[in-house]
């Protein structure tokens, strides 16, 4: 009987820790989700600006557009670090084309 009480206490403690860690992860994921979504949006604005100003660098635009599309896929699959990486790389291409 005493053994079941200890097992129940361990289970409860483990559950509390798991829920606590889950809450921290959810907040972190939400922040990364928002950063990724904002980055994609800003990337498309910079891409449009570069195209409108016809600054040249068509190859850079194409690379940036591909990376932004791939970042959207990463966002949908909740792969936030990959999404943020692709957004940063896209912005670098746009900067080199003069649009971002």
Cα–chain-centroid distance for residue 81? 5
Would you mind telling me the total number of residues written for the chain in this entry? 100
Please indicate, yes or no, if residue 50 is contained in any of the structural domains: yes
Query: pTM of the predicted model, to two decimals?
Result: 0.71
Please indicate, yes or no, if residue 72 is contained in any of the structural domains: yes
Higher per-residue confidence, 16 vs 38: 38
- The residue segments making up the domain with residue 54 are 30-97
Banded model confidence at residue 80, pLDDT cuts 50, 70, 90: very high
Q: What is the pLDDT of residues 26-76, one digit of tens each?
A: 777 999 999 999 999 999 999 998 888 876 778 888 999 999 999 999 999
d(CA 32, CA 72): 13
Please indicate, yes or no, if residue 93 is contained in any of the structural domains: yes
Please indicate, yes or no, if residue 69 is contained in any of the structural domains: yes
Q: How many domains would you assign to the chain?
A: 1
């Amino acid at each position: 009987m005493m053994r079941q009480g200890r097992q129940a206490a361990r289970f409860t403690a483990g559950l509390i820790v798991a829920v606590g860690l889950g809450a921290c992860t959810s907040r972190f994921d939400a922040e990364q989700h928002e950063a990724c979504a904002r980055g994609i949006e800003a990337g498309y604005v910079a891409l449009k600006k570069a195209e409108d100003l016809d600054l040249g660098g068509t190859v850079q635009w194409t690379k940036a557009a591909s990376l932004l599309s791939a970042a959207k896929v990463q966002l949908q699959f909740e792969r936030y670090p990959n999404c943020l990486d692709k957004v940063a790389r896209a912005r670098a291409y746009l900067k080199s084309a003069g649009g971002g």
